[in-house]
Amino acid sequence: MEVQKLGINNVSGIEFKAGSTKKQEKEALTAAYEDAKNKALVFAKSIGKTNVTALKVVESDSMLAPQVVYLMGKVSSDHSPISIGERTIQTKVNVEFEIQ
């Protein structure tokens, strides 16, 4: 490896970071709101109504949780596992609807 030629023989604390997650956070909020609205429409239809209007929307405790998966190739003394993973963006909204 090139780094060994430079005299580097120990690397630790490698961290991979994602860029901005603002777009995904907005998409999660939109999806959460749409899910709440669809559920409200189900309730409305069950009592013979067809329209719902959001009166109050509150976001609560959004999370950006890293999930790490460890991969190992051949087990040998000079190889360490490198973790790869994915980030899960979750959001929760409480929506108060008026059924019309």
What pLDDT sits at residue 9?
Answer: 73
pLDDT per residue as tens digits for the range 44-93? 999 999 999 999 999 986 555 555 555 545 444 455 566 566 778 888 99
Please state whether 55 falls in left (phi above 0), alpha (psi between -120 and 50) or beta.
Answer: alpha
List alpha helices for the chain, DSSP H.
Answer: 2-5, 22-46
* pLDDT band, very low/low/confident/very high, at 13 (cuts 50, 70, 90): low
Distances (CA, A) of 86 to 18, 26, 46, 68, 69: 9, 18, 40, 7, 8
